[in-house]
Amino acid sequence: MAVIFHENTQTFHIYNQYVSDILYIMQNGQIENLYYGRVINDKEDFSYLHEEVMRSQMSVCIPEPGLLSMHYVKQEYPVYGTGDYRSPALTIRQKNGSEIVDFKYESHEIFSGKRPLKGLPAVYTESGEEAETLEIKLHDSVINADLILSYTIFRDYPVIIRNARILHKGTAEIRLEGMMSASVEFPDMDYEMLQLSGAWGRERYIKTRKLEMGIQSIQSLCGTCSSAEQNPFLALKRPDTTEDAGEVFGFSLVYSGNFLAQVEVSTFDMTRVMIGIHEQGFSWELNCGEEFQTPEVVMVYSDKGLNGMSQTYHRLYRTRLMRGKWRDSARPILLNNWEATYFDFTEEKILQIAKKAKEVGVELFVLDDGWFGTRNDDYQGLGDWFVNTDKLPDGIAGLSRKIEEMGLKFGLWVELEMVNKNSDCYREHPDWLIGVPDRFESFARHQHVLDFSRPEVVDYIYDAITKILDESRISYIKWDMNRYMTEPFCRTEKPENQGKTMHKYILGVYDLYSRLTERYPEILFESCSSGGARFDPGLMYYTPQTWTSDDSDAGERQKIQYGTSLVYPIVSMGAHVSAVPNHQLFRKTPLSTRANVAYFGTFGYELDLNLLSEAEIEEVKEQICFMKKYRHLIQVEGDFYRIRSPFKGNETAWIVVSRDKTQAVAAFYQRLNKVNASWLRMNFKGLDEKMLYEVKWDDHILRAYGNELMYAGIPIDREALNKKGGDFASILYTLEAVQQ
Ligand code: GLA
């Protein structure tokens, strides 16, 4: 790993054993990208990669006889109005109304490790040797501001992390109207753009399209979150790239609010990727001495296909984005009462459900929505963080003690950013809502957004919730957030600062997360947002797991978990076995399949176990034993490989393999059963070709070499699928290396 500055040729080479990024200080002082991709040897001179040619209608930005025209060079941080007619990464409006800037190279700094970002989540290093950072300082002498472009390269990963920061040193106020985290350019357009798109109940489906000239983009304007509709991620892959081979470039934004991820192809076939905070509703005044920091973007290069890219994100995010006690630990097997009771519970009912959970081997009981204020339905109570003693006479303190006395840990649901108008909180502080005073305040699920851009609101919520947490025995928090923002407006801010509201809201959310996770380092936090609308790397910095979707149907979950695994480690995916008929789809799936899907996540139950038959309870006990045996491999130690895509056919398959390749757990799932079906094989991945494995599934045991299992595969046992009910049946395989 190295960051090298070749003074003679004014070139930076950022590289490790996998990837190279080569930057060049152009004649006009701006930075060009000469190359980004698979590692190439370092040398003094890459100047031949800078291309200039006389073209009709070109605008030249240096004195004659020059040919440098910004429309035709691959830039590191493009701006508007000086001859580049593509979209800019930075827009600064000045006092005189001009948006023209000219940031020229001034100096640079290279240091080991990586610095934290103020107020923002970010990937971190644990020692200086893990990474090296280059910061290039550019300066605009007219407005007197510095632009700092930051690049961190990791020693062990094909990863470069970028962000940008602006420091205003001049006296005249300037206004940021848009500032991307990074802009990356490629010399050709032979790529497909891959994105994770969806909606409530069907989050993060994989969508791919061929790049065309012009702009293609995804975005969130939801304000409170990165959204269920689009995830803050895109990848460019070559058309012939598969799961296991070929090139992919991934871009993942560590942010939970409004974002834009855009690919623009010029009519000269150049491809520009930009990602960062969306400029809609964003306008940030900077006064003398003030700074603005963008979120960071984690760029992964893979020449080992999509699985290669995903495994890099998984390892990096699991070990250098997640933090705290739970980072390297297998997660407790939980039971959540939401689908068991919804709002309709008493302490007695909760204790009955918990008792049965304890009997089967569950470790953590989670009390979901409905325990506070007058929260007997979703019309009321949000904002009132005191216990409803009609339902829970001894409070959360009493209930958590009783649950712990049973031998279970206790977890609690909260939704701290929201308020119902029917609540004491709203009646006392009607002006705490996000919303424009003289306009209708749109609502969603009968609730409104508290203005977390205001520190006094965050402080109030912090005080209210820490009171409950301090007096109770809480081991887990499910932090929900169930609506998107409307009428974004802060009632206490000046008109010129309204464009800060949505970003400041997210900073307020991060602030509360920081304070609570620091104060309660033992608590396992799980984030949630109407299911999976906030499944992003920003939140992963605070919460090592996220509720993946409210859709708990095992068939649908295969798609959701498969898509989510493109970027996010499977240990981050909240996954539960729920009742049948499923509450979202009214579909019946075998109990074995519901567990076989949930094993590849955090694993838990979301139903009243008292309603299961004795045979089913015995099956649940076996499932819990299985997960206790294999969860360290699945959640912490293993590498996850996608084998068959639910987006491409009737079957899904995947595998987790230990680092030393001696152990693996794999699963095969089908949607509809087939009569007189074609032959089909399970071809494993990630095994050691020469190792001999003992493979077990249902009541079969087979000894086979890794190469046999990967290339010849095991025929799918149709009879076994029929016996398990046919539709939505599945097979779970365990593999252990044995002496040859
Ligand atoms: C959201 C969550 C659910 C549940 C309910 C409670 O929809 O995604 O899991 O917690 O809220 O109101």
Give me the CATH number covering residue 155: 2.70.98.60
The reported pLDDT for the residue numbered 160 is 98
d(CA 225, CA 206): 20
Whether residue 129 lies inside any domain: the answer is yes
Least confident of 56-60, 524-528, 560-564: 56-60
Digit-coded pLDDT (tens) for 420-468: 999 999 999 999 999 999 999 999 999 999 999 999 999 999 999 999 9
Beta strands in 528-588 (DSSP E): 545-547, 573-574, 576-578
The structure tokens listed for 561 are: 């978990």
Digit-coded pLDDT (tens) for 714-732: 999 999 999 999 999 999 9
The reported pLDDT for the residue numbered 347 is 98
d(CA 564, CA 573): 8
In the listed set 320, 346, 361, which residue is the last one of a domain according to the structure?
320
Give me the CATH number covering residue 681: 2.60.40.1180
| Residues in Cβ contact with 26 at an 8 Å cutoff, skipping those fewer than 6 apart | 32, 50, 68, 73
In the listed set 320, 337, 368, which residue is the last one of a domain according to the structure?
320
In this structure, which residue's CA is closest to atom 7 in ligand 1? Answer: 530
The reported pLDDT for the residue numbered 389 is 97
Mutation to probe ligand 1, out of 368, 416, 418 (largest number of atoms < 8 A from CB)? 368
In this structure, which residue's CA is closest to atom 2 in ligand 1? Answer: 530
Whether residue 46 lies inside any domain: the answer is yes
Residue 596: band (very low, low, confident or very high) from pLDDT cuts 50, 70, 90: very high
- Cβ atoms 286, 176 nearer than 8 A: yes
Active site residue: 84, 140, 550, 553, which one?
A: 550
Digit-coded pLDDT (tens) for 286-340: 999 999 999 999 999 999 999 999 999 999 999 999 999 999 999 999 999 999 9
User: Does any ligand 1 atom lie closer than 6 A to the CB of residue 339?
Assistant: no
413 CA distance to ligand 1 middle (Å)? 9
d(CA 540, CA 356): 32
Digit-coded pLDDT (tens) for 70-115: 999 999 999 999 999 999 999 999 999 999 999 999 999 999 999 9
Least Cα distance to 715 among 740, 691, 681 occurs for 681
Q: Element (H or E) spanning 217, and its range?
A: strand 214-220
Q: Please name the amino acid found at residue 418.
A: M
| Residues in Cβ contact with 676 at an 8 Å cutoff, skipping those fewer than 6 apart | none
User: Does any ligand 1 atom lie closer than 6 A to the CB of residue 584?
Assistant: no
Structural domain count, the chain:
2
Residue 65: band (very low, low, confident or very high) from pLDDT cuts 50, 70, 90: confident
Digit-coded pLDDT (tens) for 324-382: 999 999 999 999 999 999 999 999 999 999 999 999 999 999 999 999 999 999 999 99
User: Does any ligand 1 atom lie closer than 6 A to the CB of residue 550?
Assistant: yes
Active site residue: 21, 84, 368, 480, which one?
A: 480
Least Cα distance to 525 among 473, 480, 479, 469 occurs for 479
Got the DSSP string for 625-645? HHHHHHHIIIIIIPEEEEEE-
- Cβ atoms 641, 655 nearer than 8 A: yes
Digit-coded pLDDT (tens) for 621-637: 999 999 999 999 999 99
189 CA distance to ligand 1 middle (Å)? 42
The reported pLDDT for the residue numbered 116 is 98
The structure tokens listed for 308 are: 């290669």
| Over residues 386-390, mean pLDDT | 96
In the chain, the N- to C-terminal Cα span, in Å, equals: 39
pTM > 0.85: yes or no: yes
Whether residue 723 lies inside any domain: the answer is yes
Digit-coded pLDDT (tens) for 141-176: 999 999 999 999 999 999 999 999 999 999 999 999
d(CA 149, CA 463): 38
Dihedral, CA atoms, 194, 196, 198, 204, nearest 10 degrees?
Answer: 140
Whether residue 632 lies inside any domain: the answer is no
> In DSSP terms, which residues pair with 521 in a beta bridge?
none
Work out which ligand 1 atom sits closest to the CA atom of 368: 10
Position of tokens 């409803």?
A: 388
Whether residue 447 lies inside any domain: the answer is no
Strands 524-527 and 476-479: parallel
- Percentage of residues in the chain having pLDDT higher than 90: 99
Whether residue 571 lies inside any domain: the answer is no
Whether residue 202 lies inside any domain: the answer is yes
User: Does any ligand 1 atom lie closer than 6 A to the CB of residue 482?
Assistant: yes
User: Does any ligand 1 atom lie closer than 6 A to the CB of residue 528?
Assistant: yes
> In DSSP terms, which residues pair with 696 in a beta bridge?
701, 734
d(CA 448, CA 450): 7
Residue 184: band (very low, low, confident or very high) from pLDDT cuts 50, 70, 90: very high
Catalytic residue flag (residue 188): no
Q: Which domain holds residue 307?
A: 2-320
In the listed set 269, 297, 320, which residue is the last one of a domain according to the structure?
320
Residue 410: band (very low, low, confident or very high) from pLDDT cuts 50, 70, 90: very high
- Cβ atoms 640, 570 nearer than 8 A: yes
Whether residue 484 lies inside any domain: the answer is no
- Cβ atoms 570, 301 nearer than 8 A: no
- Percentage of residues in the chain having pLDDT higher than 70: 100
Catalytic residue flag (residue 146): no
Least Cα distance to 237 among 210, 270, 264 occurs for 210
Question: With b meaning 16 or more CB within 10 Å and e meaning fewer, what string describes 247-267?
Answer: bbbbbbbbbbbbbbbbbbbbe
The reported pLDDT for the residue numbered 740 is 78
Whether residue 552 is predicted with pLDDT greater than 90 in this model: the reply is yes
**Mean confidence (pLDDT) of the chain:** 97
531 CA distance to ligand 1 middle (Å)? 7
The reported pLDDT for the residue numbered 658 is 98
